[in-house]
Structure 1
Amino acid sequence: MKVKKIGLIASAAAMLVGVPGTYAQESYKLAYIDPLSGPFANVGEIMLNHLQFAVEDINAKGGVLGGTRLELLQFDSKLSAQESQSVLQAAIDQGAKAVVTGGSGSSVVTSLVQAVERWNRRNPGKELLVLNHSSIDPELTGKACSFWHFQTEASTTMKMQALANVIGTLSEVQKIYLLNQDYAHGRQWASYGRKMVAQVRPDIQFTGEVYHPIGQVKDFAPYVGNVAQTGATALITGNWGQDLTLLMRAAGDAGRDWHFFNHSAGSMPGTVTAMSMIQKGKLTWVAEWHPGQANTDAAHQLAAAYQERTGKPFLAPRIDLTPRLLAAAINKAGSVQTVQVARALETMEFDSVIGRVTMRAQDHQLLLPQVVNTVAPVDGELVKTGWEGTNYGFRTDAVFSGQSLAQPSTCQMIRPQA
């Protein structure tokens, strides 16, 4: 049943019973499934706040299809594939039409995509979408691609290509150690790091490769000692959350002046604070935008509005962008029917606060810009504003378009019949 028809029925019912006004149209429900407890709860809360802000803004501007509101349901993944599948069923039972996820790691997101695939096959007409704002496993838009999955974050290969391009210009980087969390993303970050950096700098020596349990290591001193013994002065690490800040602090406590290369460090709470306390080494990361970035007025205006409404710092335009892309696709489709929305979304071009972005239809990978930047002290020129109440902020090193970083895809998309 189309939402406009629902609205007309509600209006008629209101007049029949003599109640002034009309009933609200049925909402379009999105299920947020990411960590809201455990060691990465702070990351999950940040992502949830960004999504909630965007949903509220969309609703304040009329919602979709001329009045249908978006409704964000909240579920705790507990960083577990099994738990995520359990709450997915709860989301379905509550009427969700789309899942928004990404902060639980690639293994959890992959599990959710597979579960949604099974559900959609068995329940035609009740299909769901998966909107992935942060898991960057290239397999999700490669061999494991799904018509129902859309990735609004740059993939591991795109991010590593941007970092490799910059590492290629740093003559002081001679020996690199690969230290990563022991799960799919950590292993991919190491693998693509070794491969792509070697392509631009075949002279660089990789001195070691180690993986550790995700979210379980409390003291990284032994790992730091092992890295030091190899003579490495730079680390490629896909660590995030407390696994990154604890690693950096252990290196600082040991007096190591190392250069860390990471994918999302500055958008994780506490990372800049840790660097300001250590005051040793460098931390270079890559994202679609960073606070203080020049010539990004639209992003700064959105960040200011977010700060004013929530009292919290704005970090990730791509997360804010995710429900806005969905809303645009619903309006483009003229329907909330999932297959029609997916077809509209897979050909989307959208003017966002970080510029025009394109959803690549072949594999549902969003092509968005990537900015390589380094956490550095405020100097009034390259770094004008501190972050997290410190005198450290972000220095832009290089900006790359999504198209220039796009990698060939192995996706063989299976689409539902028209």
Structure 2
Amino acid sequence: MKRIATTTIAAAGALVAAASAGHAEPLKIGIIESLSGSQTSTGRLYATAVEYGVDKINEAGGFNGEPVQVTEYDNAGGAPEAADKFRQAVADGVDIIFQGASSAIAGQLTEDVRKHNIRNPGKEVMFINLGGEAMELTGEKCQFYHFRFTTTAPMRVNALVNAMKEAGDLGTKAYAINQNYSWGQDVQAAVEAAAGEGGYEVVDEVLHDVNKIQDFAPFVARIKAAAPDTVFTGNWSNDLLLLMKAAGDAGLDVTFATAFLDQPGNIANAGKTALGHYIANNYDNAASESDAFPQAYKQATGHVPIFVEGHSAFALAQLQQALGTLDLGGGDIDVTKIALALEDTTYETPVGPVTVRKEDHQTIRPVVVSKVVENAKYPADDTDMGFETVKIVPAEEAIYPVQESCDMQRPEE
């Protein structure tokens, strides 16, 4: 009887081992995004793009022998809430987090990731930042497990200045209105820094509270009084929607140079006063010679990519490229190996190649400058207006040197 029992136990152990061998460790992705509150519309677009990209990875066979798993976590538009959701994601075993809406939230998350990884060697988490553009994220806050798959203020502002000057639409007097936190301050600084090259004078500047102002009419009146040719703004979410509405209501006759004018609702809010306004962005459907990506995205999601969706989907495709170079043999997920593989990728987007700069993990990427026109190929907000490409600034021209404040500590390879 003792011999039979031992044999039974051994057989059971073999079955468990076989089951374990047949079930590989899945890669777990967490979207810690603003899915409620004033930033919901933006957060939902980021989430849609990430899920689109994960679906593409899984259609191609997943990773490590299993489908990639994705879970949404609602940070409700706040940094403290994002910190709470990060802890929950870690408890759920998430390997890579994605986030885009708000540099303030990105700043919280990158610090949470850094501290977690110091305390938990071998159980690292990676942060792929899709929209936090504050310079500090690849400056004093730069760290190995943070990757920025979007532009920054100097990249957008310099592209706008160059393209608008070439087109004869820049003028000699500029105004800057921005949100009073790291991103808005970066935009204001970039506008000031580009004045010499652009040949303009900054006639006035405003930094205001973030997503708390309900009426921008007084700000528009101040812009009118300054009589600028161009108004630079890095505003996004409600602050841009309401600024455009106030500008439209007042019939403000200036050219806006923006970072996020393609956010849904802005064109409709501004009305015909939006014609001629500019945007510098990571991607524009009209900039591509092919309709293949917009149509594939529409087939999967029900709409062509808008606002932040295009470049976010490309970030997932670049991650897929990195994963395709790895074979973990069905074992534990090794986030450090994924990060090292991601550093070596070059992804050909429809507007040009994107690479990762190893020194700070800022992506080197093209910047698309567009302006609002009538009878656009891809109309916005159910109007006949949309974006026409003015210039694609190549990646090597758009990028700037690594900031001296970045002191990235790399893992031992």
Q: Which TM-score applies when normalising by structure 2?
A: 0.89
Matched, 1:83 2:76: no
Letter in 2 for 1:283: H
Cα distance, 1:150 vs. partner? 0.4
Aligned equivalent of 1:52: 51
Whether the 8 Å CA contact 2:347–2:354 is kept in 1: the answer is: yes
- Aligned partners of 1:293, 1:89: CA distance in 2, in Å? 40
Whether the 8 Å CA contact 2:365–2:398 is kept in 1: the answer is: no
Cα distance, 1:24 vs. partner? 5.5
SS in structure 2 opposite 1:114? helix
- Aligned partners of 1:385, 1:45: CA distance in 2, in Å? 21
Aligned equivalent of 2:6: none
| Same amino acid, percent of matched pairs | 28
Aligned equivalent of 1:409: 402
Letter in 1 for 2:235: N
Aligned equivalent of 1:309: 300
SS in structure 1 opposite 2:400? coil
The one of 284, 290, 296 equivalent to 2:278 is 284
Letter in 2 for 1:79: G
Cα distance, 1:140 vs. partner? 1.4
The one of 175, 183, 186 equivalent to 1:185 is 183
The one of 244, 248, 251 equivalent to 1:255 is 251
The one of 240, 246, 254 equivalent to 1:244 is 240
Which deviations, in whole Å up to 9, do the C-alpha atoms of 1:117-143 show, x marking residues without a partner? 111000011100000111112221223
Aligned equivalent of 2:217: 221
The one of 287, 292, 301 equivalent to 1:293 is 287
Aligned equivalent of 1:396: 389
SS in structure 1 opposite 2:268? helix
Aligned equivalent of 2:174: 176
Change over 3 Å in CA distance of 1:281–1:321 after alignment to 2: closer
- Aligned partners of 2:377, 2:234: CA distance in 1, in Å? 27
SS in structure 2 opposite 1:314? coil
Matched, 1:319 2:312: yes
SS in structure 2 opposite 1:398? strand
- Aligned partners of 2:217, 2:134: CA distance in 1, in Å? 29
Please give the residue correspondences for 1:4-403 in structure 2 after superposition, counting only pairs within 5 Å.
Answer: 12-13=18-19, 25-65=24-64, 67-103=65-101, 105-169=102-166, 170=168, 173-196=171-194, 198-202=195-199, 204-266=200-262, 268-275=263-270, 277-279=271-273, 282-295=276-289, 297=290, 300-315=291-306, 316-335=309-328, 336-378=333-375, 383-403=376-396
- Aligned partners of 1:143, 1:122: CA distance in 2, in Å? 20
- Aligned partners of 1:141, 1:274: CA distance in 2, in Å? 34
SS in structure 2 opposite 1:265? coil
- Aligned partners of 1:11, 1:397: CA distance in 2, in Å? 60
Which deviations, in whole Å up to 9, do the C-alpha atoms of 1:93-130 show, x marking residues without a partner? 00100110121x11210111111111100001110000
Change over 3 Å in CA distance of 1:235–1:279 after alignment to 2: closer
SS in structure 1 opposite 2:42? helix
Which deviations, in whole Å up to 9, do the C-alpha atoms of 1:58-79 show, x marking residues without a partner? 10111124x3221111111222
Letter in 1 for 2:81: E
Structure 1 runs of 4+ aligned residues shifted over 4 Å read 8-11
Change over 3 Å in CA distance of 1:387–1:171 after alignment to 2: closer
Aligned equivalent of 1:3: none
Letter in 1 for 2:365: L
Cα distance, 1:339 vs. partner? 1.3
Which deviations, in whole Å up to 9, do the C-alpha atoms of 1:33-77 show, x marking residues without a partner? 111111110111111111111111210111124x32211111112
Change over 3 Å in CA distance of 1:221–1:331 after alignment to 2: same
Whether the 8 Å CA contact 2:280–2:370 is kept in 1: the answer is: yes
Which deviations, in whole Å up to 9, do the C-alpha atoms of 1:132-158 show, x marking residues without a partner? 111112221223211010011122221
Which deviations, in whole Å up to 9, do the C-alpha atoms of 1:311-332 show, x marking residues without a partner? 1331232200222222322332
Which deviations, in whole Å up to 9, do the C-alpha atoms of 1:282-323 show, x marking residues without a partner? 32111122122242x1xx312212212221331232200222
- Aligned partners of 2:169, 2:25: CA distance in 1, in Å? 59
Change over 3 Å in CA distance of 1:124–1:395 after alignment to 2: same
More deviation, 72-81/285-294: 285-294
SS in structure 2 opposite 1:58? helix
- Aligned partners of 1:174, 1:86: CA distance in 2, in Å? 47
Aligned equivalent of 2:5: none
Runs of 5+ in structure 1 lacking a partner? 1-7, 15-21
Letter in 1 for 2:295: A
Change over 3 Å in CA distance of 1:9–1:59 after alignment to 2: farther
Letter in 2 for 1:41: T
User: Aligned Cα RMSD in Å?
Assistant: 2.1
- Aligned partners of 1:171, 1:377: CA distance in 2, in Å? 17
SS in structure 2 opposite 1:159? helix
Change over 3 Å in CA distance of 1:333–1:60 after alignment to 2: closer
SS in structure 2 opposite 1:89? helix
Aligned equivalent of 1:4: none
Letter in 1 for 2:220: V
Cα distance, 1:362 vs. partner? 1.3
Whether the 8 Å CA contact 2:356–2:362 is kept in 1: the answer is: yes
SS in structure 2 opposite 1:332? coil
Which deviations, in whole Å up to 9, do the C-alpha atoms of 1:243-284 show, x marking residues without a partner? 112101111211211111111321x11122224x24355321
Change over 3 Å in CA distance of 1:280–1:371 after alignment to 2: closer
Letter in 1 for 2:264: P
Between the two proteins, the alignment pairs up a number of residues equal to: 391
- Aligned partners of 1:390, 1:145: CA distance in 2, in Å? 41
Which deviations, in whole Å up to 9, do the C-alpha atoms of 1:150-183 show, x marking residues without a partner? 0111222212221121233336622211111111
